[in-house]
Structure 1
């Protein structure tokens, strides 16, 4: 190899490097939901689920045939689970993500509603 090829600079020194890209602001949706909004969404879903649980327990307690109310409870739990999973797949919507979490815990709230009705029967607050 000759000395001339080694010492040659492939880029001339008078050229400037390309400028960096300037940042831009792009409007987008919120990335999270505030605590109070999450609490309101969850409380609303839990109130509806507790009423459904109390209604299902009332139907089971006063029904002669227990198979249909038990099947309705199974359908309720499956609908809550599938609805929560489908709602969780929506992207860039934090309100729907909060609703998905509330819907996933709705069977717990339904059990608490049924437990409240059961306790009112046991303690005699409501006559059967």
Structure 2
């Protein structure tokens, strides 16, 4: 194998690219500019407070909102499981369960977009966890069937 001259290889010789400016604007190097200090204000930005609107939600009110959503969701889950358990064709109940889960997810995402309303934020959290409460309601009904508390 022959020793190839790396500096004088075949083809046109290369040289450093220097752009040609037309003079419409002056080109400045990034290295020539002094380092700018970060904007550090002495006081952080204050939130905008709306008079008469609560900025938070008490624990008990949050618990009551969550329980209200979960009770309705558990009843819906038990009803959907009852329908599924007693139907011969399982297609429609399974489709309704899919629609229910999608509606709960989309509803929670849409209600989470509401700003400055803490009860609506609690409702969004409740709607996001509603399918879990529905599974708990269906599990209670399933346990009633399995352990013989309820007759088929």
1:76 to 84, 100, 124: 100
What are the within-5 Å matches in structure 2 for residues 98-113 of structure 1?
98-113=122-137
Unmatched segments (≥5 aa) in structure 1: 1-24
2:72 to 48, 51, 71: 48
* CA displacement 1:19-77 (0-9 Å, x = unmatched): xxxxxx96252111000000000000000000000000000000000010000000000
RMSD: 1.2
Quote the residue 1:126 is aligned against: 150
1:100–1:26 Cα change, 3 Å: closer
Report which of the two has the higher share of helix. 1
1:27–1:119 Cα change, 3 Å: same
Distance across 2 between alignment mates of 1:82 and 1:40: 22
Distance across 1 between alignment mates of 2:57 and 2:121: 9
Q: Which has the larger radius of gyration?
A: 2
TM-score (norm 1): 0.79
* CA displacement 1:83-127 (0-9 Å, x = unmatched): 000000000000000000001000000000000000000000000
Q: Does 1:67 align with 2:91?
A: yes
